[in-house]
Amino acid sequence: MPKRSTDELFQLVKSLEKAEKRNFKLFVQRNATSADMKTVQLFDALDKLEDYDEDTLLKRNTDIKKQQLSNLKAHLYKQILASLRILKDDNNIQLQLHELMDYSRILYDKGLYLQSLKTLEKVKEYAREQHQVTYLLQTLIFEKKIEALYITRSMENRAEILAKEVEDADNRLTMMNKLSNLSLQLYSWYINLGHARGDKDRMAIKAFFESNLPTTAAHYNGFYERHYLYESYCWYGFILQDLLMYYRYCQKWVDAFEQESLMKKVDTPLYIKGVHNLLNAHFVLQNYDKFNITLNAFEQFCHSKQADSNDNIRVQSFIYLYTAKLNKHFLEGSFTAGLKLVPEIESRIAKFRLKMDRHRILVFYYKIACLYFGSGDNEKAIEYLNRIINWKVDLRTDLQCYSRLLHLIAHYELGNYTLLEYLVKSVYRFMAKMQNLSIVEEEIFRFLRKSFHIDQRQMKTAFVALKGKLEKYKDNPLESRSFMYLDIISWLESKIQYVPVQEVIQQKYKQATASKKGNRNTR
């Protein structure tokens, strides 16, 4: 488990690039006082630390007194942000708009209100072009203030035009807020609880979605109104495990950015998240060809200048690109080959440890554990699963549950029978407590309990019987999440055929791709 520091100043210092550190030093030295030199000393001290430790910091820097530290840290934090603010970032549309707004305010305060209005016109032009409705509304409100205080005679019927523009922008912003709230609340449900666990969850989600979806949402054609509508349907479908709905709206999400390519620059993280979800939709639906096409295009984007413009985008690109690369190995059954990615992933997690949320790290650990399990290295799988199980977080109860279930099966594979009876009871209690037991999991636990007393010569028959029971539920929406997290059918087939799991999945992949190729050739 990577160490994480909660000190905000330390995180900020560690996030700076070389050019930004150099700019900070120049910024402070312009009008340096003795107090400023103390903040530079604190800056250098923090920069040298691997992890934040106040005692170590004070021991190494005796000039800094403990009673001074709090004020010095607050002052340094403000200075760093101020130094970053003056760095010109041509890729950040919002900062550029904010800068123009600042200029218009300065001109207004100087009494040059016509020049201020001229600058505001530029803000409005850029804001409309880049769908920045909040900036557009701020600009219009400022324009109204100027028009109310001065007789500008800048345009006939100016008052009526401004009033209509403000009303339109306000309506758009209201719709965006309603839809973005709905999307965020659905995403929060998924992060905390995962997929719908039964009819009760499905009914609750459906009622919530229908009561919070604005009836006029489809009438709005603005970029962000459409985006948040697609995003809401995307999470709704995914939680309900309506994978076709999920795929359809993921595609709409990405298509909106492809149709207005400027928006990839304006809101790169949102575009990256959309591609990630589209890749995930192809993965769960086993759309092999479309998955590979989308992955190749995304990898090219991740190597572009746009994807390297700041740390936030670099981190998101890494997370989603390597998640997709791992999923590709799961689709193809190439688990052993996929293990080559693990050192790079571990290295990047360590590098970005202060900038990655715990949820993403947990997902990586689970996928790496699945790689090791699929390749037959159960001990390494258990090592990564233990990282999830022992990390006390309140995220993704479904991930916590399936980590424990896979942990149990890995011990079963190793023949750790003295431990298994305890684990079966423990994992069953945990999943029951989390209300995460479906019919599929109940059948798996029933089998594992009985397996301790089954003669080895009858095990194949028992595996065949369990496989037959579970296959009945594979197309049941309420049971499909069990198969999404754990390919239990392929594991059972490997036990029946006496071959490794990855060999079973490789054979399925070859048959599926050959079948699709044959269908194309007969058209």
Q: Which of 455, 460, 450, 454 is nearest to 492 (CA)?
A: 460
Q: What is the gyration radius of the CA atoms in the chain, in angstroms?
A: 28
- CA distances 128 to 101, 125, 134, 146, 249, Å, are 15, 5, 10, 21, 25
- Give buried/exposed letters for 371-401 (b at 16+ CB in 10 A, else e): bbbbbbbbebbbebbebbbeeeeebbbbbbb
Q: Which of 315, 264, 343, 325 is nearest to 93 (CA)?
A: 264
Contact 94, 132 (CB under 8 A): yes
Q: How far apart are the C-alpha atoms of 110 and 108, rounded to whole Å?
A: 5
User: Could you report the per-residue pLDDT of 449-476, keeping only the tens digit for each?
Assistant: 988 888 888 999 999 999 999 999 888 8
Contact 478, 196 (CB under 8 A): yes
Q: Is the pLDDT of residue 138 over 60?
A: yes
To the nearest 10°, report the CA torsion of 343, 345, 346, 348. Answer: 120
Q: How far apart are the C-alpha atoms of 248 and 259, rounded to whole Å?
A: 16
**For 49-63, 101-115, 321-335, which range has the lowest pLDDT when averaged over its residues?**
49-63
Taking each helix axis from N to C end, the angle separating 34-48 and 66-85, rounded to the nearest 10 degrees, works out to 90
pLDDT on residue 4: 47
Helix (H, G, I), strand (E, B) or coil at 472: coil
Residues 6+ apart with CB under 8 A from 160: none
Structure tokens at 205: 């989600």
Q: How far apart are the C-alpha atoms of 66 and 55, rounded to whole Å?
A: 9
Q: Which residue has the higher pLDDT, 31 or 194?
A: 194
Q: How far apart are the C-alpha atoms of 451 and 421, rounded to whole Å?
A: 10
Q: Which of 434, 316, 144, 232 is nearest to 324 (CA)?
A: 316
User: Could you report the per-residue pLDDT of 225-257, keeping only the tens digit for each?
Assistant: 999 999 999 999 999 999 999 999 999 999 999
Helix (H, G, I), strand (E, B) or coil at 282: helix
The share of the chain scoring above pLDDT 90, in percent, equals: 62
Q: Which of 263, 165, 168, 172 is nearest to 220 (CA)?
A: 172
pLDDT on residue 215: 93
Contact 408, 488 (CB under 8 A): no
Contact 83, 25 (CB under 8 A): no
Give the amino acid at 200: K
DSSP category for residue 241 = T
Give the amino acid at 250: C
pLDDT on residue 88: 62
Spell out the domains of the chain, with CATH numbers in brackets.
8-85 (no CATH), 93-154 (no CATH), 358-523 (1.25.40)
DSSP one-letter string for 333-395: T-HHHHGGGHHHHHHHHHHTTTTS-HHHHHHHHHHHHHHHHHHT-HHHHHHHHHHHHTS---S
Residue 60: pLDDT band by 50, 70, 90 thresholds?
confident
Residue 62: pLDDT band by 50, 70, 90 thresholds?
confident
The average confidence (pLDDT) of the chain is: 89
Average pLDDT value for residue range 278-287 = 95
* Cβ neighbourhood burial of 86 (10 Å; 0-12, 13-18, 19+): exposed
- Give buried/exposed letters for 474-484 (b at 16+ CB in 10 A, else e): eeeebbbbbbe
Neighbours of 109 (CB within 10 A): 10
Residue 339: pLDDT band by 50, 70, 90 thresholds?
very high
Q: How far apart are the C-alpha atoms of 498 and 371, rounded to whole Å?
A: 19
pLDDT on residue 151: 62
The share of the chain scoring above pLDDT 70, in percent, equals: 93
User: Which stretches of 376-472 are DSSP H helices?
Assistant: 378-389, 397-414, 417-433, 439-451, 459-471
Which residue do the tokens 């996030």 mark? 15
DSSP one-letter string for 21-58: HHHHHHHHHTT--HHHHHHHHHHHHHHH-SS--HHHHH
Residue 3: pLDDT band by 50, 70, 90 thresholds?
very low
pLDDT on residue 457: 86
pLDDT on residue 167: 94
